[in-house]
A and B are shown apart, each in its own frame.
Chain A
Amino acid sequence: MAENIIKTQNGEWEMVCGLEIHCQIISKSKIFSSASTEYGADANENVSFVDVAMPGMLPVLNEECVRQAVKTGLGLNAKINNRSVFSRKNYFYADLPQGYQITQYEYPLVGEGEVVIDLPNGETRKIGIERIHIEQDTGKSIHDINPKKSYIDYNRAGVGLMELVTKPDFRSAEEVGAFLKKLRSIVRYLGTCDGNMDEGSMRCDASVSVRPLGSLDLRPRAEIKNVNSVKFVMQAIDYEAKRQVEVYENGGSIEQQTRNFDQNTGETKFLRVKENANEYRYFPEPDLPPLVLSDEFIESVRNEMCELPDTKKERFVHELKLPHYDASVLCENKETAEFFEKAATGRDAKKVANWVMGDFFAMLNAKHLSLENSPVSAENLGALVDLISNNIINGKTAKDVFAIMVETGKAPDVIVEENGLRQVTDTKAIESIVDAVIKENPDNVAAYKGGKQNLMGWFVGQVMKQSKGTANPALVNQILKEKLG
């Protein structure tokens, strides 16, 4: 993996990186209270007395949050622990009214797993998952309204989170990017997290250290917080690894620390020396007994799972004979894959893939539409491909029909009939147009016969024009060749 080496004038270095990713669980109500999880409500509207830790309020676990986390674990080929334990992580901050976060520590819900990532060069790599535990989210602080005060909105406090910890398996920013995209695709397929990093429903902290190439020891790491897009995570990691190499090469040392990423400069900045884990004074949560799951429960969750992107991709390649690239593009999100499959059923899948990935995606992009608001249904797109395959219309007319489908939402066969666009495959009809064109253009006929072979294109154009684009181009070519000799 030559491209993963950080080369300097003085030597070669390797990056070691692991991730902690917080994924907001999709559920209607919060993990320990019955308040709504809805995003975008007015401040403190979705808050119960439990969420703000009023005296005497007790947490009651939401079964759906457990189900979602188990589903995610299964999707990452991870071990589901039949017994897990909630713990208190104690710290003081205004966005945490209890003074502690209910999380899991020694006994997480999900154990080790594995994700296969696809690298841009076509290679794949396995990334180890260390664990996933479930916990409560904190409130949101707003610091910029009042110069002397912070304002706190507890709508987010108590929303269920899955914290996923990877093994320190990443050796480049590119691998981290590929992993985040794969994870996002999997949780979106499963419907367990909406994976929007810019809205904060998926948040990533990266631990980065470097070591001389060939060395196996782990050096102190910097944890980079608050990065809200895949691109920025990759930038931050790259910057941080190079910074550390520079520090070491200048004879310095790295202390375990927390750093922030500045989107504007692309740099990471020192925030604080990493707290000692002891300072959180974890202990088992007395208000919640251990979470014990039966094998039946875990199996019932497994039975609810949908086909995941990798499996779907393989199926598209093997059953539908799609090229790998097409299958990857179409399977990246579930809705696209389902739309494609609906359109492709019973047809030449590659032809349908070309339309979906070509004119169809281009149209959605140009009109800033999402798939669900598409004016063209999967059935109609499939029917359009049928019209071409059955020689009812030619490829050129198909583009015009598609444009009308976008405008009107009508079915392609209706459009063809209404506009008289049916392809003329009647040899006699085409012959009569060809005859007329030859008769009207004696000069060009003479020139063609005199050796100007490239005039053939011009003749085809004239015939197509007179037929209003409906003539079958192959027949036109064939008849012209016969008549012009």
Chain B
Amino acid sequence: MAVDNQTVEQIAFLSRLKIDENKLEETKDEFNKILNWVAELQEVNTDNVEQLVSVNEENLFCREDVVKDGNIKNEVLKNVPLSEFGYFAVPKVVE
């Protein structure tokens, strides 16, 4: 499996990354290097082997259902480039 320049552009769009025209070729080659390496790994037979999601299977720590966070509006909004009327204000995103 090899990617072309168009696929690189599509992935860049989905990731909201800007890749300059003159960097396309180089990025494509980097992608393909990684894919080739993965292709090599795929030579190993993994039929009937479940994917390893985590090495930590039995240790998911759960919280009790208690409210003890929030009500820190000012601290939260302190990190916002622009806030108005207590909201995060962002460029219009309606479709």
Residues of A within 8 A of B (CB): 27-29, 33-36, 42-52, 54, 60-66, 85, 90-94, 141-143, 145-154, 271-272, 279, 281, 284, 286, 288-292
* Nearest chain B residue, comparing its CB with the CB of A155: B70
Residues A61 and B57 in contact in the complex (CB < 8 Å), given A34-B70, A142-B87? no
* Nearest chain B residue, comparing its CB with the CB of A154: B88
Q: Is the CB of A44 within 8 A of B14?
A: no
Contacts of A279 in B (CB 8 A): 14
Question: A146 CA to B56 CA in the complex, in Å?
Answer: 47
B73 is an interface residue with CB less than 8 A from chain A: yes
Contacts of B14 in A (CB 8 A): 90-91, 279, 281
B41 is an interface residue with CB less than 8 A from chain A: no
Question: A279 CA to B16 CA in the complex, in Å?
Answer: 13
Question: A141 CA to B94 CA in the complex, in Å?
Answer: 9
CB distance from B74 to the nearest CB of A (A): 10
Q: Is the CB of A92 within 8 A of B16?
A: yes
Q: Is the CB of B70 within 8 A of A62?
A: no
Q: Is the CB of A44 within 8 A of B57?
A: no
Contacts of A152 in B (CB 8 A): 87-90
Residues A45 and B73 in contact in the complex (CB < 8 Å), given A153-B87, A284-B54, A289-B56? yes
Q: Is the CB of A150 within 8 A of B65?
A: no
Q: Is the CB of B70 within 8 A of A35?
A: yes
Q: Is the CB of A291 within 8 A of B68?
A: no
Question: A46 CA to B70 CA in the complex, in Å?
Answer: 5
Residues A143 and B94 in contact in the complex (CB < 8 Å), given A34-B63, A35-B67, A151-B89? yes
* Nearest chain B residue, comparing its CB with the CB of A291: B60
Among A44, A143, A151, A281, which residue has its beta carbon within 8 angstroms of that of B73?
A44
Q: Is the CB of A35 within 8 A of B69?
A: yes
Q: Is the CB of A150 within 8 A of B76?
A: no
Main secondary structure of the interface of A (DSSP, over half): loop
Residues A61 and B63 in contact in the complex (CB < 8 Å), given A35-B69, A44-B87, A44-B88? yes
Q: Is the CB of B79 within 8 A of A63?
A: no
Q: Top 7 nearest A-B pairs by Cβ distance?
A: A35-B70, A64-B65, A151-B87, A63-B62, A34-B69, A48-B69, A152-B88
Question: A54 CA to B79 CA in the complex, in Å?
Answer: 9
25 contacts between A and B (CB under 8 A): A27-B65, A28-B66, A29-B63, A33-B69, A34-B66, A35-B70, A43-B87, A44-B87, A47-B76, A51-B70, A62-B63, A62-B65, A63-B62, A64-B65, A90-B14, A141-B93, A143-B92, A149-B91, A150-B94, A151-B84, A151-B85, A154-B76, A284-B54, A289-B56, A290-B54
Question: A163 CA to B94 CA in the complex, in Å?
Answer: 24
Question: A257 CA to B84 CA in the complex, in Å?
Answer: 35
Question: A279 CA to B10 CA in the complex, in Å?
Answer: 9
* Nearest chain B residue, comparing its CB with the CB of A150: B93
Contacts of A62 in B (CB 8 A): 62-63, 65
CB distance from A380 to the nearest CB of B (A): 37
Q: Is the CB of A47 within 8 A of B86?
A: no
Residues A145 and B95 in contact in the complex (CB < 8 Å), given A29-B67, A48-B70, A61-B60? no
Among A52, A90, A145, A146, which residue has its beta carbon within 8 angstroms of that of B76?
A52
Contacts of A289 in B (CB 8 A): 53-54, 56-57, 59-60
B43 is an interface residue with CB less than 8 A from chain A: no
CB distance from A297 to the nearest CB of B (A): 10
B40 is an interface residue with CB less than 8 A from chain A: no
Question: A46 CA to B69 CA in the complex, in Å?
Answer: 8
CB distance from B55 to the nearest CB of A (A): 9
* Nearest chain A residue, comparing its CB with the CB of B59: A289
Q: What 15 new A-B contacts, CB under 8 Å, besides A36-B70, A148-B91, A154-B88? A: A28-B66, A34-B67, A34-B70, A44-B87, A47-B73, A49-B72, A49-B75, A62-B62, A94-B88, A146-B84, A149-B82, A149-B92, A150-B90, A279-B14, A286-B54
Contacts of A60 in B (CB 8 A): 61-63
* Nearest chain A residue, comparing its CB with the CB of B88: A152
Q: Is the CB of B67 within 8 A of A150?
A: no
B71 is an interface residue with CB less than 8 A from chain A: yes
* Nearest chain A residue, comparing its CB with the CB of B77: A44
Question: A271 CA to B61 CA in the complex, in Å?
Answer: 41
Q: Is the CB of B60 within 8 A of A149?
A: no
